[in-house]
Each structure stands twice: as structure tokens, then as C-alpha cells.
Amino acid sequence: MHKLGESNSWNPFPPTEATEDAEHRVAANRAIGISAIGLAITGAVELTVAVLSGSVGLLGDALHNLSDVSTSLVVFIGFRFSRRAATPDHTYGFDRAEDLAGVGVSFAIWASAVFAGIVSVHKLTEHGRTSHFAIGMIAAGVGIVGNQVVARYKGKVGKRIHSMTLMADAKHSWLDAISSAGALGGLAATAAGVHWADGLAGLFITAFIVHVGWEVTSEVVGHLMDGVDPELVLHAETAALDVAGIEHVHVRARWSGRALLFDIEGFIPATSTLDYAEALGRRVERAVVAAVPETRAVLWSPHVLSAEQ
């Protein structure tokens, strides 16, 4: 439904969502902050041991973890900027700042892939030496555990508050856990006498980074291009049609950050009054919100069916 604020500018988000949205932002900022601290510690441990051991697999994983700290800063800035209220020249608000932060996450993943590939090829062609295998494998194990904990935490919070950016960042951390496992395998094989294993592990990590980078980038771009799960649109359409007095509906939807907006054109009987049309709109709004909990706002446009229709 259309909401009018004190400045007579349209607010696309119902006031009833304000408290919940504030709680979601607090949860998101907490997840970002805690994750950044955890990854900073994990990356520092791996980097120290990588320099000591000469392992390119562990070095790539360490720098990947440390890049996540800067990525978390990008996500934090996106969340902070998106909280700005709608203005006359940005009538839908600034929620898409979170989607733009997701682009930053994607860029960090691709940058990590390029770096990991370069150092891995260099290790294979230059036949660099690797040492201190035991402590290197322990550091890789720290990377696995640390990234798994962070990924699960961010993923859980992101799913609860419907944040594509936070879920993308969680996938990035999950990727780092796999990278750590690759580094661990490479160190173990090199310790067993397979001298090229560390470089090969680095290439494996690079390939996996590319795979996840493609997935994350596709999701983020899809969000920016107003891609919506057809099931959500179907649920909203079904809920609207179940409201007595609604003859037919056209439903469109789009994401703006964590905000799912529905634009519903409802066709109602020719005898309908303006008050009746508004009452139907309120019932449609309640029905859609109940059917699709992710809904932030329902824009209702009634159309009266003529006698010929």
C-alpha cells in the first residue's frame, strides 16, 4: 500500500517494519564485526606460518582470509549506507547499497583467484622449496575451522534477515575453508615426497575460487537485475486471488537490498467504490505478507472491471 510520510514523500516501506529492520541491521553488523575479527586472527596465523614454511598453498589461503577482512568492511559500509531514508531524488531509499556491496564481495573473490593462480604457477615452474610441514598443516587446520565457523554464522544471519550480500559473504568464507583444506592436502603430499603437490594444491584452490566466484557473481547480478524466485511471485498471486472480491491480478516483484517489493494490480467488480477498493487492498497486503514473509511492501493498484469485461 502507498504510505505517506511527514514530508508527503512516498515511503515504500511500511512503518510497522521499522523495528524489525533495525534489529536486522544490528544482527548484520554484529555478524560482520565478529567475522572480521575471526578471519583476521585466522589469516594472521596462516600468513606467519606461510612465510616460515614457503608454502604457496598456505600463503594464498592466508591472503584470501585477510582479504575477507577488507571485504567485511565493504559489506559494513553497504549496510550503513542503505539505512539512509528515502529522499525526493531516491524515492525507493538506498537499500541497493547492500547489493553494490555484494559486487565488492564478488570482486574480492575474483582478485583472490588471480593471485592464487599466479603464485601457484610460479611455485610449479620455479620449483620453490617448502618446509616446516607440521606447523604448516596445523595452520591450515586453523584455517578450515575458523572459516567454517564464520561461514555458518554469517550464512545463518544472512538467511534470517534475507540479505543476499551477507549470504554471498558467507559463501566466500566457506570457500576459504575449502581453500584451507587444499593447502593442508598439498602440504601433506609434499611432506610425503611429492614436491609439486603444494603448487598443484594452489591450482586446485584457484579453480575452486573461480567456481564460487561465478556463482556469487551470478546471484548478485541477478539481484541487481530485479531477478526474483518465480515461486515467491506465485505465492503472492495465489494469496491475492484468495481474497474475496478479487477477480484477477497481475503481480510483479523485485528485490532492493533486503527489501522485497510487490506491485499488485487487482481487478475488482465494476460496482466497487473507492473505499471498497482501498479495503480490498489492505486485505491483499495482509494476505501477501502472510504468504511471503520476506515481503517489505505491497503496492496496490486497483482496476475496476467494466460490464463488458
Q: Where do the domains of the chain lie?
A: 15-224, 230-304
CA proximity to 95, closest of 31, 34, 21: 21
> What values do phi and psi take at 210, rounded to 5?
-60, -45
Give the pLDDT score at 2.
Answer: 43
Given the candidates 3.40.1350.10, 1.20.1510.10, 3.10.105.10, 3.40.605.10, the CATH classification of the domain at 15-224 is 1.20.1510.10
Computed over its alpha carbons, how large is the radius of gyration of the chain?
25
Largest CA distance in the chain: 85
Give the pLDDT score at 15.
Answer: 43
pLDDT averaged over the chain? 78
- Same topology for domains 15-224 and 230-304, yes or no? no
Read off the pLDDT of each residue in 72-78 and give the average, rounded to a whole number: 75
Q: Residue 238 above 50 pLDDT?
A: yes
Read off the pLDDT of each residue in 49-67 and give the average, rounded to a whole number: 75
Q: How far apart are CA 67 and CA 291, in angstroms?
A: 39
Give the pLDDT score at 237.
Answer: 93
Q: Using CA atoms in the order 22, 25, 30, 33, what is the torsion angle rounded to 10 degrees? A: -140
Q: Higher-confidence residue: 25 or 233?
A: 233
Give the pLDDT score at 283.
Answer: 93
Read off the pLDDT of each residue in 68-88 and give the average, rounded to a whole number: 75
What tens digit of pLDDT does each residue of 120-161 get? Answer: 787 777 665 666 777 878 888 888 888 888 888 888 888 887
Amino acid at 19: T
Q: Higher-confidence residue: 201 or 20?
A: 201
Give the pLDDT score at 235.
Answer: 93
Please work out, in degrees rounded to the nearest 5, the angle formed at the alpha carbon of residue 70 by the alpha carbons of 69 and 73.
95
Given the candidates 3.30.70.1350, 1.10.3720.10, 3.10.50.30, 3.50.50.60, the CATH classification of the domain at 230-304 is 3.30.70.1350
* 0.85 surpassed by pTM: no
Amino acid at 109: I
